[in-house]
Amino acid sequence: MKDHKVVAALRAAWEREIEAARLYRLLSEQQEDERRRNIFLRLAEAEEGHAREFADRIAALGGTVPHNGTEPTAAQRLMAHTLGTDAMLRRLEAEEERNIAQFDRHAQALAADAQSHALFIRIENEEKQHAALIHSLKAPEEPRTRLEAMLKGEKWHVSTGSWIGDAIYGINDGLGAVFGVISGMAGAAGAAGGDRIVLVSGMVAMLASALSMGASAYMAGKSEREVYSAEIARERAEIEQSPAHEKEELGLLYQLKGFSAEEAQMMADRIASNPEQFLKTMAQEELGLSERHFPNPWIGAASAALSTAVGGLLPVLPFFFLGGAAAIIAAAVVGMAAHFVVGAAKSLITARSWWASGLEMTIIGLITGGVTYALGKLFHIG
């Protein structure tokens, strides 16, 4: 195997470790709890150590050693501040899983280079430990083994959303819906004489979409407290019917947080001795529910309505300044660019590759615009 292929694999691994180190340092800076802050700092230092080992191996093979620092970038700081710790942890867990898969592939491909092979295998195992630690630091979502089986029948658990997600998906919905309307009306009205029809249709579609999304977001946010009350009632019934079973669940949850079996049992016994505290603790630890987590329905409504309006306005803008075929072409270009940007932005929530998400949205936009334009031509009104 040629050294340049080995160096390329080592450089790709180095880049992933540097990226992870930056994100762990950001998480460390965000933590108020000293224990969690130190955990993230140690993880950042471990990733930096991995990067140094990859760099040393690159140098040993005669390659150019990378020199990028591990200080977080301004864009990463903005992302961390916007998403918050929980979303960043989900993103980092996904990154660790991708690192493990990539390092395993590299280790198999570089079997002929014994030192590089051994390096990838060792760091892959350490990445698995990081992924397990990140999972334990997240809010309880899918507890493992026996606890998972105990919770399997409880399908009604829910989680809350965020206004950031509402905003991104609002732009997505507004852009997709209004771009389809613009394309269809442009096809129906023709390149000449139909600009006003297209403009009015786009503005009406934008307004209707924004009001609809805002109303939906408001009702969803307002319903959170009702859902919380229903969840609490079900949990209360479970405690009354099977207190020993629920106490065992709480003990297992504490074990997943790192307490010994004895410590977890002692804590569960103490909390269970106070029925109201037991109920609140189970709601928080098992379901992740807390009254302070309720989103403000007015903020959700405003975020959804405004973001949908922004998304809907983008493909309409060219018709304010241009006419005829030029306006249609400009709207298509703006629409495709906006689809890509929105798709890339969605990766902040989904942890997918930004370019893959952007490309997917662009393809969807092309299909939507093509189909509606063709339908409009079929029912030509010019």
Is the pLDDT confidence value at 142 over 60? no
- Residues 18-48: tens digit of each pLDDT: 888 888 888 888 887 777 788 788 888 888 8
Integer distance in angstroms from the first to the last C-alpha of the chain?
66
Instruction: Give percent of the chain with pLDDT exceeding 90.
Output: 0
Residues 345-366, buried b or exposed e (16+ Cβ, 10 A)? bbbbbebbebeebbebbbeebe
DSSP characters over 113-163: SHHHHHHHHHHHHHHHHHHHHHHHHSPSSS--HHHHHHHTT-TT------H
pLDDT of 296:
74
- Residues 169-218: tens digit of each pLDDT: 778 788 888 888 888 888 777 654 567 888 888 899 889 888 888 888 78
Average confidence score pLDDT of the chain: 76
Is the pLDDT confidence value at 159 over 80? no
**Is 44:24 a contact under the CB 8 Å cutoff?**
yes
Is the pLDDT confidence value at 351 over 60? no
Is the pLDDT confidence value at 293 over 70? no
- Which is more confidently placed, 306 or 103? 306
Is the pLDDT confidence value at 163 over 60? no
Choose from 150-154, 173-177, 207-211, 373-377 the range with maximum mean pLDDT. Answer: 207-211
pLDDT of 136:
63
- Which is more confidently placed, 157 or 357? 357
pLDDT of 140:
46
Domain with CATH 1.20.1260.10 in the chain: 3-137
Query: What tokens were used for 55?
Result: 């760099």
**CATH entry, 3-137, from 1.10.150.570, 1.10.1370.20, 1.20.1260.10, 1.10.10.10:** 1.20.1260.10
Is the pLDDT confidence value at 2 over 60? no
d(CA 83, CA 109): 36
pLDDT of 150:
47
Instruction: Give percent of the chain with pLDDT exceeding 70.
Output: 81
pLDDT of 41:
85
